[in-house]
Amino acid sequence: MKEEKKSRRLLLQVSLVIIPLFLIMIGAVAVAMYKSTVDGFLKVQNESIDHTLDELYDKTCDFDDSYFLDFWEDHPADTLEENDALSEEEKKKILEDLMENGITKNKEFKNEIKNQPEEVQKYTAYVAYYLTVMGPALDETKKKYENMFLMDINSPNEGFIFFLFDQNGDGLELGEKIEFDISDHSVLEQLRESGSDKIVYEKTEDFIGNGNRYLGYKPVVFDGKVRAVLGVSYNWDEFSEIMTENLWKTLAFGIGCMIIVMVAVLVLLYRMAIKPVGKIQKSVCEYIDTKDSVKVTNMMNTVKTNNEIGILSDNIAHLAREIERFTAENIKLAGEKERVAAELDMAREIQASQLPCIFPAFPDRKEFDIYASMTPAKEVGGDFYDFFFIDDDHLALVIADVSGKGIPASLFMMMTKILITDNAMMGLSPSEVLERTNESIWKNNDRQMFVTVWFGVLEISTGKVTAANAGHEYPIIRQPNGEFEIFKDKHGLVVGGLKKIKYKQYEFTLQKGSTLFVYTDGVPEATRADKEMFKVSRLVSTLNEHRDASPKELLESVRRAVDDFVGDEPQFDDLTMLGITLL
């Protein structure tokens, strides 16, 4: 009875998962279908709008200047009425001249018009309006769009209509205005500011007609300024109504299918999964109590389902037999783990011994005080520092961070350290040292590891530092009586990144009493429980709080600040720092 209740409970839990999943799936399909249909419609509609507007533009607005638009806007009443002050012969001559000289393109002809009497100018504008605007636009409007219009979008005539045709017969005549706030139509506002001649589109409400509309605008541009827009509009509500109806049909069909499929799935699930799982659960409980693998094997043989659950029952029987063997092996592995831990401790000691770790490092040199530290995130790390004399007056300073952690990074670190030291002792400049080191690493870098390096040479007698930076952190410098500040030096690519790399070399001078502080990214990227990092800004503040301290005290203060900041969070990256003060 108890097992049956558990089976029913599992069936209910599965049902509560499957039903919402089916609902989500149907909703997602419906939304995807709706979006796909809308996107497809807009793509086709945009292509149609582009074609229509380009054709209409060529017929109505392909002017070389704004003469006629200006005249029509200044004299709308005169443009709409045929002037009876001229004789039929005069009218006929104006029409012939317009047809012969070109209404839009002949500048000389338009200059002649401007010098004609006012009545001639008015009649010319009247004829040009009906030949180039009203006639072609009316023909295009009859095709498929509810509205077609030419409108000024510039102040003070914002909304001035040159023409607006409506399939429902509610068009506007030349000189009428549409009252609207252009800031509510960002595409028009951006178009006006940009001076672009690109066709743009907008979905809006109660603009150029009632209800939701989809509009296309083609700008009429003169001398880089949008003079007006030629536009067409499409009734979005009709399209949306059709789409909504289809969506509801899809949902109704999907829900019916879901019920049928869901019932079938639950029946099959109970017979092929839930009932056999009950047997498996019972056998596991028996094994916990008895540790009898033979009894478990016999019970699992009663599970006859030919699917993954049948395989699971065989696996559980096999698992029971293997547990005893695994227990013995775990004892052996525990001893092996202790051996590996001892070897890692030895590796850490060897690595630490390769870094300068005795301070003061040069007791006989009183010109400077130097201190460095490296705390690996694992038993061994990929960070390293180094300092050594190239000659009596030149001290090499190195700090680097190898990609990765653990044994591979430590081995790569040792190789890089040796290469840098050997190249530096040959008397090469810092940039040449990095270039030579990069070439050597690239030849045998199958694991594609890399290392960031800051390498500088301090001329002790003058305080001049010549340095090169291969993708490492910026150094921090404090001059006498000043504060620590970040020195944003020239960065090159990491060592090992490419076969041939050229590094930029730079110089700066440390005066007596100056301190140079370099570090790896484990310091600013130390992270506490709320995922906030220590950051370079907090590092600089910590340094300035102890600006007069010796390098050793300075590094210890930074380490304490990092530890206090991260609290109990584990260290995830190596912490390496080096500081030197000229005395």
* Identity at 187, one-letter amino acid code: V
- 381's CB contacts (< 8 A; 6+ apart) are 351, 374, 375, 405, 409, 410, 413, 574, 576
Backbone torsion region of residue 567, taken as left when φ is above 0, otherwise alpha when ψ lies between -120 and 50, otherwise beta: left
pLDDT, one tens digit per residue, over 344-393 is: 566 556 666 678 888 998 999 999 999 999 888 775 677 899 999 999 99
pLDDT at 501: 92
- 96's CB contacts (< 8 A; 6+ apart) are none
Calculated CA dihedral for residues 230, 234, 235, 239, nearest 10 degrees: -160
Q: What's the rounded Cα separation, in Å, for the pair 267 and 48? A: 53
Tokens of 526: 């130390």
For residues 170-193, give the mean pLDDT: 87
* Identity at 93, one-letter amino acid code: K
pLDDT at 382: 76
pLDDT at 65 over 90: no
| Number of residues written out for the chain | 583
The dihedral built from the CA positions of residue 388, 392, 393 and 394, taken in this order, carries a sign that is: negative
Most confident stretch, 236-250, 278-292, 328-342, 372-386: 372-386
Average pLDDT, the chain: 82
* Integer angstrom CA distances of residue 75 from 68, 123, 210, 381: 10, 11, 29, 84
- From the number of C-beta atoms within 10 Å of its C-beta (0-12, 13-18, 19+), residue 18 rates as middle
For residues 251-277, give the mean pLDDT: 72
Domains, the chain, in order of start with CATH, read: 58-234 (3.30.450.20), 291-354 (no CATH), 356-582 (3.60.40.10)
The pTM of this model reads: 0.46
- DSSP-derived secondary structure letter, 527: B
- Start-to-end CA distance of the chain, whole Å, equals 87
**Residue 199 and residue 217 in contact, taking contact as beta carbons nearer than 8 Å:** yes
Per-residue pLDDT band at 2 (split at 50, 70, 90) = very low
pLDDT, one tens digit per residue, over 500-534 is: 899 999 999 999 999 999 999 999 999 999 999 99
- 225 membership: H or E segment, kind and range: strand 225-235
pLDDT at 1: 42
Per-residue pLDDT band at 558 (split at 50, 70, 90) = very high
Tokens of 163: 């023409």
Percent of the chain with pLDDT over 90: 34
Q: For tokens 């069936």, what's the residue?
A: 11
Determine the angle formed by the axes of helices 107-114 and 118-129, rounding to 10 degrees: 140
- 203's CB contacts (< 8 A; 6+ apart) are 212, 213, 214, 215, 236
For residues 209-230, give the mean pLDDT: 88
- DSSP-derived secondary structure letter, 306: S
